[in-house]
Chains A and B, each alone.
Chain A
């Protein structure tokens, strides 16, 4: 089974509107972390936001917020007031476990977001 599922291969949004990118995850570990990364066409991976499994509140970073629904195992990324520069591939990733391991990240397949003017 896929550990990270991103069901939207592509999404379109109008400039200045909000958009939600979906991510569901699968783990039996009570301790885990969820990350979102942005990959523009230039190829680099840019960290956006992090949510820990024990965090009580949804994470926010500027225009990015994470809609964390633990019971549903979802960690959707919300981008408010979209800008043309937000057009990129977005990856959801998870690290599992605690107690000395290095916590590799497992990535989803990504969602390609296009912001239209």
Chain B
């Protein structure tokens, strides 16, 4: 069964460093999302992406964040200068069509020291 994959599973970085989190959505899906979950808290929407552009973003998704679909399979989230409060689990999700079920990847646990 097709699934969303994410790499790395765990990333440790120093405050101020740039990180790139990678996702491979389900191959025929057209809509892509990033969410984050701070430890012990609920899952929060960051950004949605369709047709090579951002469709919607939350107030969390400030100028330090960017997304890109560099090729036909990968979808990346870049954090330009990490802060301690960026430590969280980051989930990528994809859906076939808008409004359809979003399937989540296993997550990348980001730890900022």
| A interface residues with partner B (beta carbon < 8 Å) | 33, 35, 37, 42-47, 50, 91, 93, 95, 98, 100-110
Contact = CB atoms under 8 A, between A and B. Distances in A.
Contacts of B101: 35, 47, 50
B99 A37 contact: no
Given A43-B107, A45-B43, A101 B55 contact: yes
Given A43-B106, A44-B106, A45-B91, A101 B98 contact: yes
B104 A101 contact: no
A46 B56 CA distance: 23
Given A102-B56, A109-B42, A33 B48 contact: no
Contact of B43 (A47, A50, A91): A91
B42 A45 contact: no
A98 to B, nearest CB: 7
Contact of B42 (A101, A102, A108): A108
Contacts of A108: 42
Interface string B39-57: 0011111001110000110
Contacts of B109: 43
29 contacts: A43-B106, A43-B107, A43-B109, A44-B105, A44-B106, A45-B43, A45-B93, A45-B104, A46-B104, A47-B102, A47-B103, A91-B42, A100-B98, A102-B31, A102-B33, A102-B50, A102-B55, A102-B56, A103-B48, A103-B98, A104-B56, A105-B33, A105-B35, A105-B43, A105-B45, A106-B45, A107-B43, A107-B44, A109-B42
B89 interface: yes
Contacts of A44: 104-107
Given A43-B107, A45-B91, A110-B42, A105 B102 contact: yes
